[in-house]
Each structure stands twice: as structure tokens, then as C-alpha cells.
Structure 1
């Protein structure tokens, strides 16, 4: 296991091992976690709460890149795409939380990015109607050398 994964996984809970999620958001996050694992990512944390807010999922891709994932799950597209709900203020909060996470775990030298997983999951359905994974969905407002 890479030193990156060892450092990040210390003290953090793993995602997706619990019982079936009760809320729509939890179901979406669990589904996104499985999708990312199947794509080769290593799950590091889910529902990570920090001083600046929550990060839905934190994964490591290709043993090197720390990926902060915002999962948006909606019942329909009536209010627009779930991805459109990740506005500028939420991006700022996620960026601040991510930077705090990287600092706390000594990971500032590793590349990082922000992804959004948008899920439409109709009421009564056992599976999502659509799932979109947007890699590099946004960049931090004060983009610096710590993010790629």
C-alpha cells in the first residue's frame, strides 16, 4: 500500500460497509462509492466533517491523486441537473475543507481534484435512472500549487 493511502486512512472511517442507507442522499453516496471503487479508486472516507463543512467522499486514484467527491442525488430533473446544485459557495466550502484535510494529513505535495457525481434516482426505484461522473468538475477559487 502506498504511503499516501497509509497516511490518509489512519483514523478515517471506510465507506459503504454499513446497512442500506436510509435517505436519498445516503443511497446516492453509497452508490457513488461503489461506482468509484469499481473504477479502481480506493475509498478513504465518507461524510468527512471538518471545520469548513462536509466532503461526501474522499478517494485516492492511481495511488497518487486525492479526489474530493461531491455527490448530488435528486428524484427527477424537474429542478435541473443535480450537478447544477453545486454552486459557487458550496465549491468554496468544499475547497476549504479539502485544503484543511490535505494539511491535516500531510498531503499537500499530492495532486488533488474535485469531482461531482450527479444521480437521478426516482422514487420507488431500486436503481438510479442516470448517473454522471464529472471529473475536475470545478477548481478551487484560490487555486494554488496544491491542486491539479
Structure 2
């Protein structure tokens, strides 16, 4: 540990750690959900340069690779849903991540980008083929 690190500095890091734990828990809930509906998980938290794919799965029904983005809230409130965090900028990054993965592995099959929204420890919604235009 850095001897210059004060207790105040350590306390300032606590919320980020909590945020990361919430995200990891949400990703595990989403992965379990996808498995329960028949998807095959191919990877989690895949880093591609500065981008990350939360979950890479295969949908055997539609026969496509799925790049799944997970958005998690620790609570459920109708006016503050996890979907509000899936901004246009984030959607662009998701598309870039998918393209990078496809190029890296020379994948030639079908794919789509989904979102799984988690609130209060439960799957709230699974959106297949997220919309790209914000209204």
C-alpha cells in the first residue's frame, strides 16, 4: 500500500468498489438468466483494447452470437430504470466492441447486440437487438 495514501483517500474509493461489485453481481444474474433460456455463454468481461463485452453468448434458437450489455440497479423504481444508463454513446461503443471482436476472430456468422436490465437482484427485461436511434 502506498504510504502517502490517507484514510480519506481510501474512503473515496469505496463507492467505486461497491459499484463494481453491483455490476459483477448483475452480470452473473444476467448470465444465469441467459443460460436458463437456453443460451450458451462463450465469455464474460471480454476486453478489447479500451472496450469491454459484458457477456458473449450463443442463441441456439436464432442461431446467432449475442453481445450482451448488462445494466444493473440495486433497487427497483419505475422512474429510474437501468435502461436509462444505456446511452447513445454506450450503444456506439457496444457496436464498436462487437465489430472489433468479429474482426479479431474472423467471425462470419450472424450476430446481434442485446441488453439485459437487472434491478433489485432480478432480471427486469431482456431486449433483443437493441434500438440504435434515441427518440
TM-score, length of structure 2 as denominator length? 0.75
Distance 1:96 1:129, change over 3 A: closer
Matched, 1:134 2:127: yes
Corresponding residue pairs, total: 112
Structure 2: stretches of 5+ with no match in the other structure: 1-19
Matched, 1:99 2:92: no
Name the counterpart of 2:29.
31
Asked if 2 retains the 8 angstrom alpha-carbon contact of 1:52 and 1:94, the reply is no
Larger CA Rg, structure 1 vs 2: 2
Question: For residues 93 and 48 of structure 2, what CA distance do their matches in structure 1 show?
Answer: 10
Question: For residues 112 and 69 of structure 2, what CA distance do their matches in structure 1 show?
Answer: 11
Name the counterpart of 1:88.
88
Higher helix share: 2
Question: For residues 25 and 92 of structure 2, what CA distance do their matches in structure 1 show?
Answer: 25
Residue 47 of structure 1: CA displacement?
Answer: 0.5
Name the counterpart of 2:66.
67
Question: After TM superposition, which residue ranges in structure 1, 4 or more long, deviate above 6 angstroms?
Answer: none
Asked if 2 retains the 8 angstrom alpha-carbon contact of 1:68 and 1:98, the reply is yes
Asked if 2 retains the 8 angstrom alpha-carbon contact of 1:114 and 1:139, the reply is no
Structure 1: stretches of 5+ with no match in the other structure: 1-21, 122-127, 141-148
Question: For residues 123 and 65 of structure 2, what CA distance do their matches in structure 1 show?
Answer: 25
Question: For residues 52 and 138 of structure 1, what CA distance do their matches in structure 2 show?
Answer: 23
Q: What is the root-mean-square deviation of aligned Cα atoms in Å?
A: 2.1
TM-score, length of structure 1 as denominator length? 0.69
Asked if 2 retains the 8 angstrom alpha-carbon contact of 1:83 and 1:118, the reply is yes
Asked if 1 retains the 8 angstrom alpha-carbon contact of 2:30 and 2:123, the reply is no
